[in-house]
Structure 1
Amino acid sequence: MTRIAVIADPHIGVEKPTFVGNWTKAVAHTNARAPALTIILGDLTFDGANAEADCAFAAEAIRALESPCLILPGNHDVGDTERDSEQPTDAERLARWRRHFGEDHWLSDAVPGWRLIGLDSQSLATGLPDEATQWTFLERALETDRRVLVFLHQPLFLEAWDEADRPGWTVRPAARARLRALLGRGGVDAVFTAHMHRAWTRLADGEPTLVWVPATSFLTRDASMPPQQGTAITGITLLDLTPSGLSIAFDPVPGLETFYIEDFNGTLYPAPAR
């Protein structure tokens, strides 16, 4: 058996270090679980999309993890897919990410019988050259006899595959449809996403299992959010893999401080837009 730990949405930085204490506890808890690999599923930084110092701080902070680490960016790390956003994903933000953390998408065959594929959800549907490069990468990565797990920051949808565009919340509809076709053809077992700060598992016959993993940083109040599934918990996620199977466990971290982002009245991030 090979154990993988997944940490999502730490939101750590230097100018606003509110969630650094939770990160420190999550790291200690992860190390105690002794995973063979740790995956960080985006929004590692508080504002790495704009602040070099936050990227440098986070790059140093991940050294506390005792296992090898694979990292993917989120919207607070490299920007938004929407071209009219105040911080759109662009070449400068992606270059900053790569300086500190390496490539924004990756493949790992480190687990016997399995292939792990990490995607940058923030490049999808942007029209950037990086998007075309990533689609080519994904098509080739899915050409394998191994069982496959896919990881990215934003969820594919909130309620249904064919739902309307939800800017800022999910993968955009055109990219979502293309991903659905590729994942179905590639025999993917499960897709793991973050961003919603909730824990949820969706099982459907003939489709990959979809898993939202919980955050370590903060929760959100239902009244300010779009419709969402799952449970509002903080913690990490543990994946136990064998050549023939996968088990998934949401693992609350003892001692995490419970924050609700709305209680900061916009002093950390703007209130979520439904």
Structure 2
Amino acid sequence: MNRNIYKSEQGKKVIEEYYNGILRNYTAYSFEQVFVDTDIARTHILKFGTIGKPPLFMFHGSTSNSATWLGCISYFINDFTIYCVDIPGEPGLSEAVRCEFTTDEPVRWITSLLDNMKIDKAFFLGMSLGSWYSMNFALKKTERLYALSMITAGGFAPMKKSFIFKAILSSMLGSFGKNMLNKAIYHKTAVPEQVMIFQTLAATHFNPIMEPLPIFTDEQIKNLSLPVQFFGGDHDGLIDSVKTAKRIKDNCTNADVHILKDTGHVILDQFANIYRFFMGISM
């Protein structure tokens, strides 16, 4: 699974330089770049806010990095210490090592991350792949979370075969193929230009995860007493979010589930609701 995640060293440099440029130009809130050694990989984190507030960990989606969260910091900065985590093996600044999804590596990675940061318990916010990491951890280490919010989520339904076909086809059809793929991902969501530029760079220089994410069983989900929130789009081109929502609602005893109309895989307008969900949790 740990093949080269970049197509070349030059491509790696191009992506890292663009990401660093985004961070240099971000001026809305001050942040600290932290590197944490873990059992699996050296991990890069953007830390916002002051110590002493409840910790909130944010885990981005596939083929992305913690720049994903820069637009939502304002919702949480006053009440949380925010840790935006670059998932190892993705195009961020963490070590280029991917966890083996079918092993204990994903749980070991987050466990050692929290342990080495001396954080016993935290709120988790995940997006797509980051939701899978977060839920997988929550199922095995429930006592380490106050609550979990997921913006789209892998692990509840397989990736749609139609998206896999479009992803393969897009690599052969140039700009037309990329536009087709973007429509499947974003639907009608307005996406910042720097995100689209980054996605173009990633498509050129980065080897994304091709392995399917393990699917959580009903029995696993039913054993989760943690407060869980989920947002999915009814036009999600990657995953059946309607099926995902039903499985969460039917099996989780403490679930807040939302299917958004005329919405695709990328959801960028629900952070106020996520904030209210977290603030309603007793600690």
Q: What TM-score do the two structures reach when normalised by structure 1? A: 0.35
- Structure ranking higher in helix proportion: 2
Instruction: Name the TM-score, length of structure 2 as normaliser.
Output: 0.34
